[in-house]
């Protein structure tokens, strides 16, 4: 079904829980919270998805995305454990984990459009306007979302008084 191999299904189903976990954390907390139950689900699911991508990827960009995702994932989950970073740790983990969500969604949207509906996919060409528009929309969401996250984090760090209200 959908031309997916058994290891491809492990990759797809293993990384799938990361999507609702990320959406929930973005909606509830404004960012992915690594030290939470959903943060653990996100980490494990992303780890399964990114590492299994090396087994299913057929193109160099896919392998590159998987490698970069793993780097950002470990940076995002490790930053808060380095006391020398201080407040910068929150910024670093927020940016790194938001980038992992973006790197999850680009191949997810691309592969969904290239495989659904089964036998007659929405997109057959990687230069399809629909695909390029979807990927461009994801990039716009990343830029706007990261900007909003960083502004929110900056405002959280300010003292609350009449002078800053």
Q: 60-117 pLDDT, tens per residue?
A: 889 999 999 999 999 999 999 998 999 899 999 999 999 999 999 999 999 999 989 9
C-alpha to C-alpha distance for 16 and 6, rounded to whole angstroms: 15
DSSP-derived letter for residue 157 is T
**Domain boundaries defined on the chain:** 6-164
Q: 120-133 pLDDT, tens per residue?
A: 999 999 999 999 99
pTM of the model: 0.90
Q: Output the DSSP codes for 57-78.
A: --SHHHHHHHHHHHHHHHHHHH
Residue carrying the six token digits 């528009």: 133
- Does residue 7 contact residue 51 with C-beta atoms inside 8 Å? no
């Amino acid at each position: 079904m959908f031309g997916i191999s058994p290891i491809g299904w492990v990759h797809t189903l293993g990384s799938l829980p990361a999507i609702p976990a990320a959406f929930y954390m973005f909606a509830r907390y404004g960012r992915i919270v690594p030290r939470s139950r959903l943060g653990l689900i996100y980490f494990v699911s992303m780890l399964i998805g990114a590492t299994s991508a090396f087994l299913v990827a057929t193109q160099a960009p896919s392998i590159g995305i998987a490698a970069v995702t793993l780097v950002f994932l470990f940076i995002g989950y490790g930053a808060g454990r380095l006391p020398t970073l201080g407040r910068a740790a929150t910024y670093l983990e927020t940016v790194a984990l938001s980038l992992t969500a973006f790197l999850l969604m680009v191949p997810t949207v691309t592969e969904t459009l290239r495989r659904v509906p089964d036998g007659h996919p929405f997109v057959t060409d990687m230069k399809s306007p629909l695909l390029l528009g979807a990927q461009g929309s994801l990039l716009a969401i990343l830029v706007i979302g990261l900007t909003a996250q960083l502004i929110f984090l900056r405002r959280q760090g300010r003292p609350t008084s009449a002078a800053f209200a």
